[in-house]
A = this chain, B = another copy of it.
């Protein structure tokens, strides 16, 4: 069993127009910058994949990563909890011009909807957002004297994630707080594509220390010295 591919280009080669794409990371931590940029390269060269729905906690920052996808015109819709950031101009401009749709989801509900998709749970109840405009149109129900909102699972065609160690069976670990949404998105997408900083042999990750078991990962590629999104943003890099 060998799920590795040699290049990030190859890793993202079959993502289709109109796909729903989960992208791991929270702000710049754990963001799979090289996979995102490979997808932008493909779009620039071929015009595809476009009209994407992108699921991430944020909506891009500066001129790289998801912000660069938005600037390139590949993204039709963002599903996120916090599209604001120190430099969210790419999203803001597109949103205020009516060129991009937004589904705003409370952060914990976003995480739980993704986890539910991965776990085969089509719907669940949460107290979050009850009585607010983000629960409008949603079914509500009382349990034990408290009111809850019913939320649906959130699935994707593809997840792009970033790991630290990976083996060719797809087992992964994550670096520090770069874990965030990555393990959840790995479970919730039809095809999960991971970039890892170091490929190791099966067994190179202690079985007790595996965070994402390989069953959730379809394809992985080594990016030995990955770029850190926050660093790029602070350097003012535009992709």
**Which residues of A are interface residues toward B (Cβ below 8 A)?**
112, 116, 119-127, 141, 143-144, 146, 148, 152, 173-176, 179, 207-209
* Least CB separation from A111: chain B residue: B119
Which chain B residues lie closer than 8 Å to A122 at the CB level? 125, 143-144, 146, 148
Which chain B residues lie closer than 8 Å to A208 at the CB level? 173-176, 179, 209
Copies of the polypeptide in the assembly? 2
Which chain B residues lie closer than 8 Å to A143 at the CB level? 122-123, 152
A53 CA / B209 CA spacing, docked (Å) = 33
Main secondary structure of the interface of A (DSSP, over half): mixed
Which chain B residues lie closer than 8 Å to A119 at the CB level? 112
Is A123 within 8 A of B120, CB to CB? no
Given A116-B124, A123-B125, 8 further pairs, Cβ under 8 A: A112-B119, A112-B121, A121-B126, A122-B125, A122-B144, A124-B124, A143-B152, A175-B208
A28 CA / B151 CA spacing, docked (Å) = 37
A209 CA / B176 CA spacing, docked (Å) = 10
Between A and B, 25 residue pairs with Cβ closer than 8 Å are A112-B119, A112-B121, A116-B124, A120-B127, A121-B124, A121-B125, A121-B126, A122-B125, A122-B143, A122-B144, A122-B146, A122-B148, A123-B124, A123-B125, A123-B141, A123-B143, A123-B148, A124-B125, A173-B208, A174-B208, A175-B208, A176-B207, A176-B208, A208-B209, A209-B209
